[in-house]
Chain A
Amino acid sequence: MATSESNFKVSCRKIWKIFGPHPEQVKQALKPDMSRAEILEQTGHVVAVKNVSFGVRAGETFVVMGLSGSGKSTLVRCISRLIEPTSGQIIIEGEDVTAMSEERLRLLRRRKMSMVFQHFGLFPHRKVIDNVAYGLEIQGVDRNTRFERARNVLKMVSLTGWENHYPGELSGGMQQRVGIARALAVDPEILFFDEPFSALDPLIRREMQDELLNLQKVMQKTIIFITHDFLEAVKLGDDIAIMKDGEIVQVGTPDQVILNPANDYVREFTKDVPRSRVLSARAIMKPCDVVCSENDSPEQVQSQLQTYLSPIAFVNSENGRFLGILSRAQVDRAVPTVNHTVRPLVHDNQPTVSPHTFLSDLLSIVAATDLPVPVVDSSRKLLGSVDRTAVIMALGGAVDSS
């Protein structure tokens, strides 16, 4: 990606974490092609995170996905230095976390970031409200203020009325709501989620995912979200990093990852994805070859169509909004007439789709027409087009990499 370092809210550079008595030595002696199992065999050290670099933009949800044991938890804990990385740098808002003093780090944890845990990590001896208010309590915020804030956050996660219960009396889903509320109570800019929904039933899990999406629409926090569930990653992530044996094997948007898996490991995950409900028009649309203005003459359009050997032309209005399409036959018929522009030829009842339209919805639209369907954004700016072939190919898993 071409974005420069400073645009990132959080960025990691070459993070390593090796568990064992002599991590530094092992790192030095490491040959690049040695597998994790070999290293464990020969040195007794576990390479949990291996040379990982990535950047997360403000307001983005960055998902780290990988099988159990691939080092996700270790990675996310290295970022907040709950686990001391063996080497590498973590930059948060331009400041090097790895170089921070304990004091400064504590401040960062108190004010800037918070975390939601896989097994909730609630304090069983504290009532729900005291759990939620914990972060504020240790900052020395007075009781009334912190309870008021805690009540507000509990409302956000729909737990009003449960303030005075103990975590043990709540269901798993509710406990994790408490976990989320506790993380939100300190109003952090960065949130870490370590497999927060893995311990929940599938139905509850989906519900919580939707709720998180809704919350995030309002909050616009920077989120680093860990999961082993590829569907969850696709659903929640703006960007996904896929980890294997401590390394990141691919980073990209969900569509990029699904359509262009970097290797078999990644492809294996994408297999189970219900593409029709995950891939959208944006992922499979192609640029339009012939785009003309309503003021162009039929001759001009005809010559362009001939140049590109294209069957249709997309027509934009003067101010760049999409108007409709013209087939080659229509243009050919219009050339001998007196029309000065192609404007009168264009019908404005042409169906269009938004870039976010999922394949499942596209299917009926492309089935009804032989022509490519234009993809336009909310201001009716033409982005590209999708045709029947592209939709069918994408559904089938084949990738048109052109």
Chain B
Amino acid sequence: MVRWESVSGYIQIHRRDVMYLALLVLILLLPLIVDSISTELTEFPEAWDIHLREPLDDFQRWTIRNRLTHPLFTWFFDPLSDAVDFSIRQIESVLLWLPWPVVVLTAFLLGQRAVGLRVALFSAFAMLFMGFMGLWDEGMLTLALMAVSVIIALLIGIPLGIMAARSDRFEAGLRPLLDVMQTLPAFVYLIPVLLFFGIARVPSVIATVIYALPPAIRLTNLGIRQVSPAAVEAARAFGSTGRQTLFKVQIPLALPTIIAGVNQTIMMAFGIVVIAALIGAGGLGNEVLIALQKQQVGRGFIAGMAIVFMAILLDRVSYGFSQQQTVSNAQHSHGFHLLPNSWDRFAVVRVFEQGVDLLLTSCARLSQAIAAGVATLVSAIGAAVGKREAVRDVANFLQGHAFLVSSVLLISGLLILHAFAPYGEEFPKAWVFDLGQPVDVGVEWMRDNIYQIGDTSIGTGPLSDFLLIYTLNPIRAFLQDWLSWPLVILGFAVIAYSVGGWRLAIFSAAGLFAVGLMGLWEDSMNTLSQVIVAVFITVLIAIPLGVLSARNDTVEAFLKPILDTLQTIPFFVYLIPVIILFNVGRIPGIMASVLYALPPGIRLTNLGIRQISNETMEAARAFGSTPRQTLFKVQLPLALPAIALGVNQVIMMVLAMVVVAGLVGGGGLGLLAVKGLANPMRDLGRGIEAGIAIVLIAMILDRITQTWAKNREIKGHH
């Protein structure tokens, strides 16, 4: 039992808060008092529907009719579209033309260069996996889409980030835009691009670029602004021009952060490239989509695995490069271990490790020798031509980049060989084996046995039913029927007012009202009820786990790789395991949301508690607090700002997932959006309306929880 005093001390109820609470309770009870009015008000008046979808559909029809003639298309969208399409085609055809062993080798070398042998082996494996599963072509297409999107996003994002760093005003203008962009669920980016670019790859790339742009801009800006003012001042004091300061001091020092931005851009781009299958982008995501639509779980599972492996590959390699940019240029640590260190007690492992070590050092020596040879050659040529000076730098560079030189030589060698004696055109058909079948069998078995274990009421089926009957349906009924729409809006307004004042209250009320005006009240309440249940479950799991991992290093060490992986996986993929376990409907969507949103919840709770200063904790202990007293009187109150931020992130991630769950029968706004994407000729207008509603709800939830989290922080600093 937690005693009331300790709780009240922790929550710090203020008189003002009590007043708002009472007001909310009053609103909840209002239907009891004025029962007759409420039944008539349950449904948002249909007469008020502004039918936004009609002009939208008209506009779409107009764009289709005028695509070939209107200057907006012939002079702007079409050339843009052609250029993007051309780039995708080129990159895809290069990737497909490359003999597959060369692609695998390149992945291996990138992994080796970025991190080390373990990641290199994993990268090679991830590529081979696609081959073995017969997904080679799909994988190359996905990679091509990614590459084009990332390159465009960086080409736009990095310069914008630099500009933002150099002009406070520009940053101030950009910031709210970026804030909103990062609030929106990935899904909604796909809808509007359809209007201008039609269906297929180009709109996917455009949506991906827009979605993945913010981290590139933000982290470039942040990196440059973080450069120590002392270094910038020194540069100025020596008479550097603005450009010299930028290129010689600011950008080099910001590089680790900029590359971290590249890493994030890549991961976000990958997330949406996969889901862009919805608008016909093809590739690996398409396999998942088909599997979801046709209920071929095995097929989706395999594609999902390929996507997960690819995501991990992309993350580890780009993260590895960002870590290497740190300034001190530390040498690679010696004594590399491929297998876990603890296995060293087995003689076989020791011998094996020695072998690996020997191999690695010989490779390093060999590449040094090759680079030195090339450098000498270049110097000799330079001397012969009489440009000794100019060539010396090149030779130095070559000598200093042995790995690069030998890799390039190796790959070019293989390509030249390919020109004379073609090999590896296609991944050998004979090597492909169909894992889908056995997986399907496994899934069948799981469904038969886990859905309901024996005759008991234990299993995913009963759990699902329980959630549906006792949480989801009552909450939806509560929002929709019991409270009726004016009270929901009023309730939100009261909460918003208590957190952030009039502006937030008006924004929230107006936003919800607009949702009603689009005729989406019912669907919105459906979605909202799912969000509430998923957030509740997530928080219920995340906070205790976060507390536990903050108080126990073993738990933290155990959770870290799991959370890392969960955060790397594109959210689309989460839908596969949950439909295996929970079939289709609203529950799998909620489960996927919980999985997806758990990591930030756990991480921020853990972080919030761990970052409490040692001195504070010692003081608590010095006064003889029990661990529980320390937790409730010191740790949780001090960690509250971080936890509040965690809740904010959980809500946003849950929302993003719940709408995608429209694909697996989640219903609500997500379903309308999916329909709009699947059949734009008929349902795009409705889809866009749903997209707008999602955006509005996302912004309202984000503003309220964000402001609330910020309030905690200010109080925490008193």
Contacts and interface: CB of A to CB of B under 8 A. Distances in A.
Given A168-B327, A168-B328, A124 B239 contact: no
Nearest to A105: B239
Contact of B238 (A109, A119, A120, A124): A109
B329 interface: yes
B230 to A, nearest CB: 4
A135 B239 contact: yes
Contacts of B237: 80, 82, 109, 114-115, 121
B328 A106 contact: no
Contacts of B328: 166, 168-169
B81 to A, nearest CB: 41
Given A166-B328, A168-B327, A169-B328, A138 B234 contact: no
B238 A135 contact: yes
Interface string A47-68: 0000000000000000000000
Contacts of A108: 239
A138 B253 contact: no
Contact of A125 (B234, B238, B241, B252): B252
Given A124-B327, A166-B327, A169-B328, A115 B239 contact: no
Interface in A70-118: 80, 82, 106-111, 114-115, 117
A155 B666 CA distance: 74
B233 interface: yes
Given A119-B230, A124-B231, A114 B238 contact: yes
A166 B241 CA distance: 24
Nearest to B244: A138
A186 B240 CA distance: 13
A107 B239 contact: yes
Nearest to A108: B239
Contact of B233 (A106, A111, A121, A138): A121
Contact of B234 (A115, A139, A168): A115
A121 B248 contact: no
Contacts of A124: 231, 253, 327
Interface in B238-252: 238-241, 244, 248-249, 252
B238 A123 contact: no
B236 A82 contact: yes
Interface string A110-150: 11001101011111111000000011011100000000000
B239 A121 contact: no
B233 A82 contact: yes
A119 B244 CA distance: 22
Interface-centre pick from A115, A124, A125 (highest chain B CB count, 10 A): A125
B233 A110 contact: no
A166 B329 contact: yes
Interface in A166-203: 166, 168-169, 182, 186
A269 to B, nearest CB: 28
Q: How large is the interface on A (under 10, 10 to 19, 20 to 34, 35 or more residues)?
A: 20 to 34
Interface residues of B, number: 20
B252 A110 contact: no
B239 A123 contact: no
A332 B329 CA distance: 85
A166 B327 CA distance: 9
Interface in B303-332: 327-329
A169 B329 CA distance: 10
Contacts of A166: 327-329
A113 B406 CA distance: 47
Interface-centre pick from A107, A124, A139 (highest chain B CB count, 10 A): A124
Nearest to B232: A121
B239 A138 contact: yes
Interface-centre pick from A120, A123, A124 (highest chain B CB count, 10 A): A123
A311 B154 CA distance: 91
Given A106-B241, A125-B253, A117 B234 contact: yes
A186 B238 contact: yes
Nearest to A111: B239
B231 A123 contact: yes
Contacts of B329: 166
Contacts of B233: 82, 117, 121
B234 A122 contact: yes
Interface in A11-44: none
Interface string B357-401: 000000000000000000000000000000000000000000000
Interface in A328-354: none
Interface in A239-259: none
Nearest to B253: A125
A363 to B, nearest CB: 45
A119 B239 CA distance: 19
Nearest to A83: B233
Interface-centre pick from A119, A138, A139 (highest chain B CB count, 10 A): A138
Contacts of A117: 230, 233-234
A275 B319 CA distance: 61
Contact of B231 (A107, A122, A169): A122
Contacts of B244: 138
Given A135-B239, A138-B239, A121 B234 contact: yes
A377 to B, nearest CB: 40
Contacts of A135: 238-239
Contacts of B241: 106, 138
8 contacts: A109-B236, A109-B238, A121-B233, A121-B237, A123-B248, A124-B231, A126-B252, A138-B239
Given A109-B238, A121-B234, 14 more contacts: A80-B237, A107-B239, A110-B238, A115-B237, A123-B231, A123-B253, A124-B231, A124-B253, A125-B253, A125-B255, A135-B238, A166-B328, A168-B327, A169-B328
Interface of A: 80, 82, 106-111, 114-115, 117, 119-126, 134-135, 137-139, 166, 168-169, 182, 186
The 10 closest A-B pairs by CB, nearest first: A110-B239, A109-B239, A121-B234, A121-B230, A115-B237, A135-B238, A106-B239, A125-B252, A124-B327, A138-B244
